[in-house]
Structure 1
Amino acid sequence: MGTLETTVLTAEDRLAIHQLLAEYSVYEDSGAAQEWAALFTSDGRFVSKAGKETVGREALAAFATERWKRPEVRRWVHWVNNVTIKPVPEGAEAFSYAMVVEKSEDGTFSIVNVQAKRDTLRVEDGAWRFHVRRVEVLQAS
């Protein structure tokens, strides 16, 4: 697995990072606040589109718990696509698109939001984790 001095990512590193991105959406969409927060480094940061930062696992878990109380959030699912990953000396950087889809009471789905995610990733305790996860407005090319 990668180290803090990583300049090349192995196939195992890339697979682990893709798994991390998938678990993020699954935990976010199921209200699993503790599991979601555990995907970040101990000093990890989540930065919303509005620029609000939440820092550290305890604060991240509290943020996710509060978020899950919103009724509309319980109807949302996230699809992540177009993932790019590149090595950097401190670990890795990833970029992806995310689409938020809402299930209505009649069982139909509609797109609520499309956004980008920009991630700084580190290995902590032998596993890839989000050090910084930024939600960005998706810009058309």
Structure 2
Amino acid sequence: MLLQANPRAISLKAKLFRGFADPSRLAIVEALRRGPMTVGEIAETTGLSQSNASNHLRCLWDCGLVDREQEGRFVRYRLSDRRIDTLLALADQLLADVASGVYACTRYELPASQEGGDAPERIAPARERRPAWPDTARVDPEREARR
């Protein structure tokens, strides 16, 4: 018997990940992992213009991913929940194991202007260093054949 996923929950989760999928928004969120910042500091850190950073911050704030606090004439932004940092740290760990596959994937192409120059071998450790999964783990035979 197959379990049916709740379509509304799946749709909402996809919407959350679309928020992180934009390279500019992800750069902002990554910058905020270091701590609260003003728009000017975020723009300097990410290389975005202040107006572009402000637009993306508004989106992130509207979606509840960042909080903001007025400090005099400046507004300081921070991640709204420490689990965002945890989620991104887990993504870093996952990429350490699967970066070569993600890098080579043709189904999720980024425009050339947004693609980073880091080759996967500089990002991920060799596959031999991956921990062995228990025999009970589900294995995709096609994926295993590509290894």
| TM-score, shorter chain, exceeding 0.5 | no
Q: Which has the higher helix share?
A: 2
Structure number with larger C-alpha Rg: 2
Structure with larger RCO (C-alpha < 8 A, sep 6+): 1
Tell me the TM-score normalized by structure 2: 0.24
Structure (1 or 2) with the greater strand fraction: 1
